[in-house]
Amino acid sequence: MSNISLIGMVSIIMAGLTMAIGAIAPAIGEGLALANALRAIAQQPDQTNTITRTLFVGMAIIESTAIYCLVVSTILIFANPFWNYFTGQQAGGG
């Protein structure tokens, strides 16, 4: 198998795996955060504004790990540096 097809195959598989594995933990974390926030709102409806604000900020921070995975897999698919290097080398050498 040539270098190019190997790099293409590994990049696509790893892009899928990055999203698949990387989405699990943030999803569990956001679910826990939302469940606890709802419980807190049910107990203290007066504090809804404060709880909602903290929930949004906290969720955005939790979510950033998933966003990192998304950025990495996007780079692997659309702007893969190794792919560009090897296609450039082939065009130059062959």
Partner 1 sequence: MEITPDNQIFWEWRWVTLNATILYSWLVMAILVVGSWLGTRNLSVAPAPMSPWQNRLEMIVEQINIQIRDAVRQDPSQFLPFVGTLFLFIAVANLVTIFPVYESPAASLSTTTALALCVFVAVPYYGIKNIGLGNYLKHYLRPTPLMLPFNLISELSRILSLAIRLFGNIMSTGLLVAILVSIVPLFFPIVMRAFGILIGVIQAYVFAILAIVYIASGMRAQHQTQRPVNE
Q: Which residues bind partner 1 (CB under 8 A)?
A: 50, 53, 56-57, 60-61, 63-64, 67-68, 70-71, 74, 78-79
Compute the least distance from the CB of residue 57 to partner 1, in Å. Answer: 5
Q: How many residues does the chain have?
A: 94
Minimum Å gap between C-beta 48 and partner 1 is 13
Q: Which residue lies nearer to partner 1 by CB, 6 or 71?
A: 71
Cβ atoms of residues 67 and 1 within 8 Å = no
Contact indicator for 82, 15 with CB cutoff of 8 Å: no
DSSP reduced 3-state for 48: helix
